Amino acid sequence: MRTINLIVIHCSATRSDQSLSVEALEACHRQRGFNGIGYHFFITQAGTVFETRPLEVVGAHVQGFNAHSIGICYEGGLDAQGGYADTRTPAQKRVLRQLVVRLLRCFPGCRVCGHRDLSPDRNANGVVEPQEWTKACPCFDVVRDF
């Protein structure tokens, strides 16, 4: 097993009035040149958790951090108009928390963060602030929630 020290939460950037199947996510990632889905887990709006990449396999979800991280993506992240929003359903919130707790038991001491929190600290003040985010993903404050 590889060393894991980071759990990264992502959104699929899917509008809340649309759905994204696991098959469609895989097709999208293959079109981008990935060898299958880059995340280790995908959580649908209904709260179904799919293991989409074995934990032993390095992910393809956040450049520069894949070697020692686990990627979790939830379906959503955009409101019906296409704006950034926390669109997680109650079921997604519940199973996301359960999954992260389970992973922390297996990999104690891991940092849990959102994709946006790994943006470069452009002003070098030690904090990645909203104006420095290269992406809004996952459209909620992971650090505050976990």
Residue 96 clears pLDDT 70, i.e. is over it: yes
Gap between the Cα atoms of 30 and 72, Å rounded: 18
Is residue 1 domain-resident?
no
pLDDT of residue 121: 67
Q: In what side-by-side order are the strands of the sheet with 41-43?
A: 49-51, 41-43, 69-74, 6-11, 111-114
> Structural domain of residue 112, as residue ranges?
6-145
Give the CATH number of the domain where residue 60 resides: 3.40.80.10
Residue 104 clears pLDDT 90, i.e. is over it: yes
Is residue 60 domain-resident?
yes
Is residue 33 domain-resident?
yes
Q: Tell me the pLDDT band of 136, cut-offs 50, 70 and 90.
A: confident
Q: With contact defined as beta carbons under 8 Å apart, do 69 and 114 qualify?
A: no
**Segment 29-88, tens digit of pLDDT:** 999 988 899 999 999 999 999 999 999 999 999 999 999 999 999 999 999 999 999 999
Q: What is the dihedral of CA 115, 1, 94, 13, to 10 degrees?
A: 30
Is residue 77 domain-resident?
yes
Q: Is-above-0.95 flag for pTM?
A: no
Q: Please give the tally of structural domains in the chain.
A: 1
Residue 125 clears pLDDT 90, i.e. is over it: no
Is residue 86 domain-resident?
yes
